[in-house]
Structure 1
Amino acid sequence: MKKFPNAIVIILSVILFAWILTFIIPQGSYERTLNETTELTSVVPDSYQQEELPHLSVFDLLLAIPKGIVGRADLVVLILLLGGCFYLIEKTGALQQGLNQLIVILAGKESLALVIISLLFITGGFTIGLQEEIIAMTPILLLFGRSIGYNANTIVSSSLGSAIVGSSFSPFNPFGVVIAQKEAGLELLSGYEFRLIVLAIASLVWIFYILQYSRKNRIEKSVQKIVTEKLSFRNKLILMLLAITFSIVTYGLISLNWGYNEMSACFFVLALTCGCIAGFSLNKTTEIYIGGFKEMVFAALIIGLANGVSVILKEGMIIDTIVYGLFGPLQHLPPALSAVLMMVSHSILHFPMPSTSGHAILTMPILSPLSDLIGLSRQICVLAYQYGAIMMDLIVPTNGATMAVIALAGTNYKNWLKFIVKPVLIMMGIGALAILIAVQIGYS
C-alpha cells in the first residue's frame, strides 16, 4: 500500500488544482472601495461582472509558491520565533519540571486534565482567535498527553480543536465576529447574549465528545523519570514570565490592535530573558534559539505554502466568481433554508479562502444586502459565516495551522479526516440549529 501524501505534497496538489480551476471557472470580479479611516477594502454589492483576461501561465503557478510564503511572512516569523522560544525554555528544564509536577498532581485525574486543557484553549479561541500560536506548543502538549495516556488525536482536538470551536462560536472573536459585524454594518459585539448561550452548549458537547473518544482510545503512558522535588526558583521565574508574556500578548491583541509582529517581539524578548535566568551565556542562548527554528521550519513552510492557493485564485480572477455562484441563488429560497445554506456555502468557500478575516471582508459586504433582500437579519448573516467558515479550519487542507499541527503530531491528513469529520459535523449541526432558532425568534 502506498504511503499517504504528507502535508506539503497535499498543499502543492491543491495549488495545482486551483491553477487548473482558473481555466475552467469564468473570470470575474466585484468592485472594491478603500475606507481611508479603517484602511479596510470593502466589496461593492451587486457589482460583479465577468471579465476576459489572460490565464495564469505555468510560471505564474510556480511564482504562487514564493508569493504565498512572502504573503504570510509575519506569521512565518511568529512561528519561528515562538517555536524557538518554547524550545529554549524546554532546554532550561523549566517545562519538564513543571510537566513532572502536573503529572504528579493529576495522577488518576486524567479526565480532569483534559477538561482543563480544552477549557483553556476554548477561552483562547473565543477571546483572541488563538490558532497559529498552538503550533509551537504542540510538541510539549503531545509529550504531556503521552505521559498521561492520551493519543495525538485526543491532544490535538483538545487544544487546536477546542480553540477553533471557541473561535467559531465566539461572541467577540476579533478576527472573526468583530470584522464580520463591522463589514455588515452592525454595532460591534451586538447580539453577544445569544452567541454566548450557543458557545456554552457547543463547548459542553465538544468536551463531552473528546472525553468519550479519549476513554475508548487510551494509550500506554510513556515511561519517564518523574522528578518530584519542588520547582526551583529559576524555573518558577521562567514559567511565571511565560504566563505574564501570554497575558501581555492577549491584552495587546484585544485592546491595542496588535498583530503577529508585536507578538513575535514579545516572545523574542522572553526567550533571551529566560536564557539569562537559566544561566546560559548569550552565545549558548542564541545557538539554542536557532536550534528551535529548525524544529519549526516544516510547520512554517506549510503555513506559507497554504497561502499559495489563495494567491492563485485571486490572481486567476475566479475567487469572486466562486462567491457569486455560491451565494447568488440563495435569494430565491425561503429565509430559514437560505440561512442554513448560507452556512454551508461559507463552509465550501473556506476551502479556497482559509483566512478568517479575509473571508469576512470578502463576503459580508455582498451578503449583508442579500440578507436584507431575503428577509434575514444581518446578525444571522454573521452567524452563518461564523459557524460555517471558521469550523472548517479543522478540515480544509488550505489551513496552514491545522496542517502544521497534525504534521507535528505525526498524523497524516487522511487519518485526521477520519477522526475529525464526525465532531465537526456535530458542531455544524449545533450551528445550523442555532441559526434556525435565530430565524424563528427574530434575532437581530
Structure 2
Amino acid sequence: MLRSFRIPHTLALLFAIMAAALAATWLLPQGEFQTSVNDAGNTVVVPGTYQHAEERTTLSPLTLFTVVPRAMAASQDIIFFVLIVGGALAVLRASGLIDAVLGWTLRRVGHSPKLLIVIGMSVFAIGSGTIGVAEEYIPFAAMLITLCLAMRMDVITAMGILIVGYGIGYGVAVLNPFTVIVAQSVSGLEPASGWEYRLALFVPFVAIGVHHVWSYAKKVQADPDASLMKGIEPLHAPPSEYPPLDGRRIVLLLAALAALVLMIWGISTRGWYLVELGALFIGLALFTGLVGGLGVNGTARQFGDGAAELAMTALLIGFARSIALILEEGVVLHTIVDVLATPLSLLGAHLAAVGMMFVQLAINFFIPSGSGQAFVTMPIMAPLADLVGISRQTAVLAFQFGDGLANMLFPTNVILMSILGIAGIPYDRWFRFAAPLLLKLLVAAAIALAISVVIGYQ
C-alpha cells in the first residue's frame, strides 16, 4: 500500500492545503489584535490586545472555488511578471543569444562545476541579503538549468544554486530592506544595526548550502539514476551544439547586460518593482527580436509561446496565495500567531530565542511575505524578548531565520512555486532535496541564536 502511494501533483497539494485552511476557519477560535500606525507609518499589531471575535465569520465551502480568482487578482503583479519573463526568455533563446552565451561559459567554467555552484550561490545570497532580490531571480532559472545539464548535473542542482542561495540570503540577511530593516524598525532598533554579527554568519551558512548542493551534484554526476528527477524529462535540455557568439549576438548581450544594470539601478535607487521590471523585459524582448532577426511577427509568436509555457506556474501562484487569503478572511490568522507566541514566555532565554525562530518558521507557512510577517509578529516578539531576557536584536535574528530559511521549502511561497514551475520540478521531488538542508540550517541557526544570547547581541 505504501509503495503505491504517490505525492499528488503540486496543484492538487495546494488545493488540499486550501481545504485544510478552510476547515481551520471553522474549528479555530476567531479573533484579532488591535492595530496602530507606528512612527514610520506602518500598520502593526498592538501586543496584548488579542480579543476573540464577537461574531463568528463562517466561510462557505464555495470559498474554495471563489478564492482562487480573487487570489490570482491579488497576485496579478507577480503572475504577469512571470508570464512576461517567460515571453522575454523565449525571444532571447530564439535569437540564439542564450545558447551562444552558455556555450561561451561552458568553454571557460565547464571544467569546474563546483566553481559554478560556489560563485552562483554566493551571488544569489548576496543579492537577497543586501537589496532583497527575490522575484528578480526568476529569469535566471532557465539559463542555470541548461548550464547544469551541460555539466552532467541535473535540474535540482540548478535550482539548488538559485533557491538555496536566495533562501540563505534572506535568512542571514545583512541589510535586506524588506525583512531586516522592517523588523528592526517595528522593534524600535536602529536600521541595519547589528550587521557585523550577521555578516560573520553569512560565510558559514553559505558553506552549508554549497556543501549540500555539491554533495548532491557529485552523486548525480557519478550516477545519473541517483537524480531526484529520474523519469522526468527536463523542460530546458541543452542543445547538441552551441551557436557562435558573433557580432549581432554581442550587441544583444550588451543590451541584456544594460537591462540588468538598469534593473539593479532602478531597484536600489528608484524603488522599481514588478511593474517597472516587467516593462523592462518587454522592451528587451522587442529589441532582441528585431535586432536578432526574428521580425515583428516572429518576435510576437515567440513571446506568446514563452508566456503560454508558464500558465501552470501562474496557477500555482494563485493557489498558493489562496491559502493566506482564506485564513485572513476566516479571521484565524492572528489566532494562530497568538497561540504560537504565548508559550515562549514560559521558556528561559536560550530556549526562548530558539523557540522564537520555530514560531516564526511556523508563521511563515501562513504569512509568506517577509515584511507582512514582520508587521504582524515583531510587535509581539520584541516586548516578549524584553520579558524573557534576550535582546530585541536577537528577536529580529530569530525572525530572519524563521522567515528566510523557510522560503526554500514552504509551498505557500509563491516565488518558490514560480521557480519550481518554470523548472518543471514536482514539489515532492524538491521537498526530498530541500528538507534535509533546512534541518541542517536550522541547527546552525539555533547555535547562532544561542551565541547571540551569550554575547548579548545588540
TM-score (normalised: structure 2)? 0.92
Aligned partner of 2:146 among 133, 143, 156: 143
The equivalent of 1:121 in structure 2 is 124
The answer to whether residue 402 in structure 2 is matched with residue 388 in structure 1 is yes
Deviation of 1:39 (Å): 4.8
Aligned to 1:82: 85
The offset of 1:441, in angstroms, is: 0.4
CA distance in 2, matches of 1:20, 1:188: 40
Matched residue type, 1:4: I
Match of 1:193?
A: 196
Aligned-partner Cα distance in 2 for 1:25–1:401: 29
SS in 1 for 2:310: helix
**Of 101, 104, 108, the match for 2:104:** 101
Task: Confirm or deny: 8 A CA contact 1:135 1:299 kept in the other structure.
Answer: no
Ranges in structure 1 where 5+ consecutive residues have no aligned partner? none
Q: 1:295 aligns with which of 294, 306, 309?
A: 309
Find out whether 1:269 has 2:283 as its counterpart: yes
Q: Distance in 1 between matches of 2:200 and 2:77?
A: 35
**Separation (CA, whole Å) in 2 of partners of 1:109 and 1:367:** 45
Per the alignment, residue 248 of structure 1 pairs with 262
C-alpha distance in 2, partners of 1:407/1:320?
A: 31
Q: What's the CA shift for 1:228?
A: 7.0
Match of 1:46 in 2: 48
Distance across 1 between alignment mates of 2:130 and 2:248: 31
Which shows bigger deviation, 379-388 or 245-254?
A: 245-254
* TM-score of the superposed pair, with normalisation by structure 1: 0.94
Q: Residue 224 and residue 69 in structure 1: after superposition, are their counterparts in 2 closer, same or farther (change >3 A)?
A: closer
- Is the CA contact (8 Å cut-off) linking 2:25 and 2:58 kept in structure 1? yes
Give the superposition deviation at 1:223: 7.4
* 1:49–1:105 Cα change, 3 Å: same
In structure 2, distance between residues paired with 1:85 and 1:390: 29
Equivalent runs, 1:224-239 vs 2, <5 Å: 224-227=239-242, 229=244, 231-239=245-253
SS in 1 for 2:43: strand
Which string of whole-angstrom CA distances, capped at 9 and with x for unpartnered residues, describes residues 121-153 of structure 1?
222221333333333432332121111111122
Q: CA RMSD in A?
A: 1.9
Answer yes or no: is the 8 Å Cα contact 2:83–2:311 preserved in 1. Answer: yes
Counterpart in the other structure of 2:432: 418
**Is 1:363 aligned with 2:377?**
yes
In the other structure, the counterpart of 2:73 is 70
Secondary structure, in 3 states, of the residue corresponding to 2:134?
coil
Match of 1:184 in 2: 187
CA distance in 1, matches of 2:190, 2:288: 43
Q: Who is 1:152 aligned against?
A: 155
In the alignment, the residues of structure 1 paired with residue 243 and residue 58 of structure 2 have an alpha-carbon distance, to the nearest angstrom, of 64
For residue 224 of structure 1, report the CA deviation from its aligned partner.
Answer: 4.1
Q: How far, CA to CA, are the matches of 2:243 and 2:119 in structure 1?
A: 22
Distance 1:165 1:238, change over 3 A: same
| Identity %, equivalent residues | 30
Aligned partner of residue 36 in structure 2, secondary structure: strand
What residue is the counterpart of 2:363 in the other structure? 349
Q: Name the stretch that deviates more: 416-425 or 310-319.
A: 416-425
Q: Residue 279 of structure 1 corresponds to which residue in structure 2?
A: 293
Q: 1:251 to 1:365 in 2, by over 3 A?
A: farther
Change over 3 Å in CA distance of 1:410–1:275 after alignment to 2: closer
For residues 213-228 of structure 1, the aligned pairs below 5 Å read 213-218=216-221, 224-227=239-242
Residues 227 and 313 (structure 1 numbering): CA distance in 2 closer, same or farther, change over 3 Å?
Answer: closer
SS at match of 1:182: helix
Q: What secondary structure sits across from 1:133 in the alignment?
A: helix
Q: Tell me the distance in 1 between the aligned counterparts of 2:265 and 2:349.
A: 39
What SS does the aligned partner of 1:58 have? coil
Change (3 A) 1:400 1:216: same
Distance 1:384 1:150 in 2: 34
**Cα shift at 1:38:** 4.9
Aligned to 2:228: none
Residue 86 of structure 1 and its aligned partner are, at CA, apart by 1.4
Q: Tell me the SS of whatever aligns to 2:44.
A: strand
* Pair 223,194 (structure 1): closer, same or farther in 2 beyond 3 Å: closer
String of CA shifts for 1:145-164, please: whole Å, max 9, x gaps: 11111112211111111111
Query: CA-to-partner distance for each residue in 1:273-307, whole Å, 9 max, x for gaps?
Result: 22222133333322221221112221122112211
Read off the aligned partner of 1:350 and give its amino acid letter: N
Q: CA offset at residue 360 of structure 1?
A: 1.2
Distance 2:41 2:66 in 1: 27
1:195 Cα deviation (Å)?
Answer: 0.3
User: Is the CA contact 1:7–1:407 (under 8 Å) kept in the aligned structure 2?
Assistant: no
Shift of 1:22: 0.6
Alpha-carbon distance in 2 for matches of 1:439, 1:3: 44
Q: Which residue in the other structure is 2:61 paired with?
A: 58
Alignment of 1:317-356 (within 5 A): 317-356=331-370
Shift of 1:2: 5.2
- The answer for unaligned runs of 5 or more in structure 2 is 225-233
Cα deviations by residue, 1:244-282 (Å, 9 ceiling, x for unpaired): 222222232223222221211221211112222213333
